[in-house]
């Protein structure tokens, strides 16, 4: 997995933001402000997902196709792509 | 904020799942499995956001409209609704 | 329904773009170009949906809450908001 | 392009549904009903986009990788995947 350090940092940042959400709920902060924070976290998660997907394309998908073993890896990829847009 | 306890439990669950993601990255787990986990977390986050939105409609939006003070609260609500679908 | 003329113009524009998609498929255009056109159409549809939602908030939701008849209209609104993000 | 006939039929169906939306707006139908129709159309569009993407993976992406010419096609693919989730 390339850029592992960067990925882990992004994930830690999301964990920190999620703890912030917990605090906002605890302190009865305004719902709209909490919803906007969640929307920002979802955007960060999508970027982490994009980065993993890019990694996957350039490693596993590429080598599977080169081996002529593409049916399974492309089928799996389509399932992920369908679910990503329905989250 | 109604059902605060339930909301906080959901948020704690997401924090736990995010730590699981960090571990998966650390252990070089298969990218597709990590992406699917992130998609599941995004779905949980959307449910938390839905719950907060429902709360907001039945409390702040309702009372603002009853006071005749709806312009700002409805404008703010639309901004949130637009961003939620673009996350 | 306010700004009906504008809404109908937007819808006609989407119909025109959809006919363009049909032509692109007919002429075996590059898949990526067709997918990008569909993404643009989805964005236009979301804006039409946003406009209708804004209209609904300022008319039906507002008057129902003023009448004290909010349970059904807010329940209905939440269902729409949940489905919009799962499309 | 495989299953071209099926793709064109799906696109024609969406065009028909869009004309239905125009009629609903003309007849001042209830906003929520129109919004739900638009959500259904967005779901149909996403399925057409999925089908084109699947075609693209099994044709252009696969042959480009086999030729060793993957940088551009994978970069292009990532751009589409990023935009699809932000529509």
**Which residues, 6 or more positions from D69, have their beta carbon under 8 angstroms from its beta carbon?**
none
Residue with more model confidence, A84 or D10 = D10
pLDDT digits (tens, 9 = 90+) for C14-59: 999 999 999 999 999 999 999 999 999 999 999 999 999 999 999 9
> What are the chain D neighbours of A62 within 8 Å (beta carbons)?
65, 70, 74
Of C5, D84, D87, which is closest to residue B82 (Cα–Cα)?
A: D87
Name the percent of chain D lying above pLDDT 90.
89
The 3-class SS string of A3-25 reads CHHHHHHHHHHHHHHHHHHHHHH
pLDDT digits (tens, 9 = 90+) for A30-52: 999 999 999 999 999 999 999 99
Q: Is the pLDDT score of C87 beyond 80?
A: no
Enter the CATH code of domain B4-86: 1.20.58.1000
Split at pLDDT 50, 70, 90, the class of C2 is confident
**Which residues, 6 or more positions from B67, have their beta carbon under 8 angstroms from its beta carbon?**
none
Task: Provide the 10 A C-beta neighbour count for residue A81.
Answer: 21
Q: Is the pLDDT score of A85 beyond 70?
A: no
> What are the chain B neighbours of A84 within 8 Å (beta carbons)?
35, 39
Name the percent of chain D lying above pLDDT 70.
97
Phi-psi region of A2 (alpha: psi -120 to 50; beta: other; left: phi over 0): beta
Enter the CATH code of domain D4-84: 1.20.58.1000
Q: Is the pLDDT score of C13 beyond 90?
A: yes
Of B77, B45, B21, which is closest to residue A39 (Cα–Cα)?
A: B45
Q: Is the pLDDT score of C86 beyond 80?
A: no
Predicted local confidence at residue B87, as pLDDT: 46
Q: Is the pLDDT score of D1 beyond 90?
A: no
Using CB atoms, list chains with 3+ pairs below 8 Å to chain A.
B, D
Q: Is the pLDDT score of A87 beyond 50?
A: no
CB contact under 8 A, D62 and A70: yes
Question: d(Cα B74, Cα C57) in Å, to the nearest integer?
Answer: 7
CB contact under 8 A, A81 and D50: yes
CB contact under 8 A, C74 and B62: yes
Question: d(Cα C21, Cα A21) in Å, to the nearest integer?
Answer: 43
Our CA-based measurement puts residue A47 at a distance from the nearest CA of chain B, in whole angstroms, of: 10
pLDDT digits (tens, 9 = 90+) for D43-65: 999 999 999 999 999 999 999 99
Split at pLDDT 50, 70, 90, the class of A84 is confident
Predicted local confidence at residue B57, as pLDDT: 96
CB contact under 8 A, A19 and B15: yes
What is the ipTM metric for this complex?
A: 0.90
> What are the chain B neighbours of A17 within 8 Å (beta carbons)?
none
Q: Which residues of chain B have pLDDT under 50?
A: 87
Predicted local confidence at residue C1, as pLDDT: 75
Helices C4-26 and C31-56: crossing angle in degrees, nearest 10, is 160
Write the residue in A50, A65, A78 that is nearest to D65 by C-beta. A65
């Amino acid at each position: 997995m390339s850029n592992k350090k960067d990925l882990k940092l992004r994930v830690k940042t999301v964990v920190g933001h999620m703890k912030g959400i917990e605090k906002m709920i605890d302190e009865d902060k305004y719902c709209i402000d909490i919803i906007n924070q969640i929307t920002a976290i979802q955007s960060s998660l999508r970027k982490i997902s994009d980065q993993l997907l890019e990694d996957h394309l350039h490693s596993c998908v590429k080598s599977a196709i080169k081996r002529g073993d593409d049916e399974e890896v492309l089928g799996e990829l389509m399932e992920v792509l369908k679910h990503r847009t329905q989250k």
